[in-house]
Each structure stands twice: as C-alpha cells, then as structure tokens.
A = this chain, B = another copy of it.
Amino acid sequence: MIDNPYYTHDFHGDYDLIGIGALDLEEGGSIPDCRLAVATFGTLNEAKDNAILIPTWYSGTHQIWRDAYIGPDHALDPSKYFIVCVDQIGNGLSTSPHNATGVNAEIAMSNFPRVRIGDNVVAQERLLREHFGIERLALVTGGSMGAQQTYEWAVRFPDKVLRAAPIAGTARNTPGDFLIAEIMREAILSDPGWNGGEYTSHTQVVDGLTRQAHIWGVLGFSTEFWKQEVWRAMEFESLDAFLTGFLEPYFTAMDPNALLTQSWAWQRGDVSRHTGGDLAAALGRITAKTFVIPIDEDQLFPVRDCAAEQELIKGSELRVVEDVLGHLGLFAVAPTYMPQIDRHLADLLAIEV
C-alpha cells in the first residue's frame, strides 16, 4: 500500500468502497477482493427504473462528474434520478495496484493483472444488481474511457440499457488512438524511477508523469486552444503557468501504475470482441436509444471516427459538441460546454423507450 493523498476522501469527497467479491478477468487471473469506489446522487425509486450509471475516464474519478455534470441545474438531476458513478478498476480509488493489500496483496504493484473494459462492465453490472437491486438503467453515459464502457454496456447487456450517451469516445479503439495512449505509457515506462512498477512513492516517477502531462497538453487540447490562449480564461497568466500550475500538478499527483492499468484497457476497448471482430454486428446488438456525442476538436476520438460508429447503431443520433478545448473539453471548463451536454442528455432522457 502506497500512501497517496490524491486518492482520499480529502480530495474526492464522499464515496463508498463496495466489495463485489472475486472478479475473474478476461485476460486471466482475478482480483480476489474487488472493491469499487462508488458515489451516488439522488434516490432510487421503488420501481428501480430511474438509475443512471456513469463509469469514469482515464485518470478521472467520480469527482469531475459530481462537480461539473450532476446537479439540479443539469440533465443529470439527482431530484429525478438515482445516479451511480463507479470509479473504474485501477483508477486509484477502486482496487488498484498501489492500494492492493490484505487478500489483494498478491496483485499489488507490478503484479496487478490486466483489466479490460469488459471486466469493468461485468463488475459494474454485478455491483448494480447485487448491491442496489438495479436490473435496468435509464441511461449509461460517460466520457472517453467512460464512453468505451458505455458502448460495452450497450452491446454486452442490451436488455439492461435503455439509453446510452457515449461522449468523446469510441466503441472500438482506432489504431491511431492506441498509439496516442502508447506514447503516454512510454513517458511513464521510460522513467527509471518507475522501476518496473515497483517504486515506493509516486513522486519517484515525477519526471515520467510530467512528460505524460505535456503529451496530454498537446493531444488532449487542440492547437486552437493554445493559439487562442484559452488558458487565460482559467486565470493563468502564461502558457508556462498553465503547464506548471495546472496540467503538471494534475498528473503528477496520480499513481503511475494506476494510469498504466487504465491506459492498457483504453488501448484495447473494442465491442467487436463479442462478435468475432465484426463491429457492425456488435453495434447492431444495441437496443438502447443512443446519442453519440463527440467533441469537434477532439484529436483522440475525432468526430469522423465517432460518426462512422454512430451510423451502425439503429435509431441513433450524432450530437457534436463544439469545444475548442478538444478532448479535455470533458473537464467542462468552457462555459459553452455543459449547456450543450445538458441539452443532448435532456433530449435523450426525454425520449420514451
């Protein structure tokens, strides 16, 4: 167990660690005592038909959803819905390499097994069914890796997902996006302080984490973000101040093995694993009313990649969000971002299914 102040209630507020038992994994091996960090908002109604599931993205947690996306002024309104944010396995809050202790000690650090998008979805389904008694979801939505999990839900459990809203993510990862994640991984793996995954403090990997932050600076935002100096609106005085005051501290606070666990899954997100590689067949299984919501300046999941998948989903709609921040528009920094998201999610939730 490595002490990391980032993965605490101090930083992440209220959440519960809920055990779902042993979780066997697609790649082999298992997590002996799989615990999911879960934050809920609102109340499950008696019919248990007002539940919304939100899986998390790479490096992210339930926190950004709580702070930016969920509230009485948003489509994700806790007065109407029971909203369940589940932190993905390996995100530092749920069972992760650096916090694997006790019965999980055998999978600590470099011994942590490979976890796929599908493993997360299986874990979430078990959590919802066994812990909350939820059999069907009014909506599954998430950004980036959360979109990957949303697609996985809609394909793997079509009867359980009434509506789906994958934001800034794809159902089958593209090779270009695989390579993007790879250079982010290499930034960490190349740091001698990483030490094959057996560091004793994440601060030993600060160089690699910083380099990764810089790669996010390039690919997470758009060239227009930098050209227009959008960081000024975030109250930074210079590009360097934004890097050293925001991007670098954001990523260097995190656990390197947690990031590597997540990016391994990110690289391999692919619903067509259910259909022998046939993406059209996989997406053809979806019965959820689906809004595909890419961000126009996203370099990781470009609109054309998202649109090509949307066309394979029956009755779906393409809803493009405009945001010069690009992929990291997901942070909901631009004042024009959440109104677009809210409109799309509200439209989707208003559709009777």
Contact = CB atoms under 8 A, between A and B. Distances in A.
Interface stretch (A8-16, A80-88, A173-181, A258-266): A173-181
Nearest to A192: B192
Given A190-B207, A305-B227, A218 B175 contact: no
A215 B179 CA distance: 8
A211 interface: yes
A331 B179 CA distance: 21
A132 interface: no
A225 interface: yes
A186 B187 CA distance: 9
Main SS at interface, chain A: helix
Interface string A209-243: 00100110111011111110100000000010000
Copies of the polypeptide in the assembly = 2
Interface in A158-191: 174-177, 179-180, 182-183, 186-187, 190-191
Given A207-B190, A211-B190, A225 B176 contact: yes
A302 interface: yes
A183 B215 contact: yes
A258 to B, nearest CB: 21
Contacts of A304: 224
A252 interface: no
A299 interface: yes
Contact of A226 (B175, B222, B223, B225): B175
Contacts of A217: 179, 183
Nearest to A208: B190
Nearest to A227: B174
Contacts of A214: 179, 182-183, 186
Given A190-B190, A215-B183, A218-B183, A175 B239 contact: yes
Contacts of A302: 223
A305 B223 contact: yes
A308 to B, nearest CB: 9
Contacts of A175: 226-227, 229, 239
6 contacts: A175-B239, A176-B221, A176-B224, A187-B211, A215-B215, A223-B299
Given A183-B211, A183-B218, 17 more contacts: A175-B226, A175-B229, A175-B239, A176-B222, A176-B224, A179-B214, A179-B217, A182-B214, A183-B215, A183-B217, A186-B214, A190-B190, A190-B211, A192-B192, A219-B219, A223-B299, A299-B299
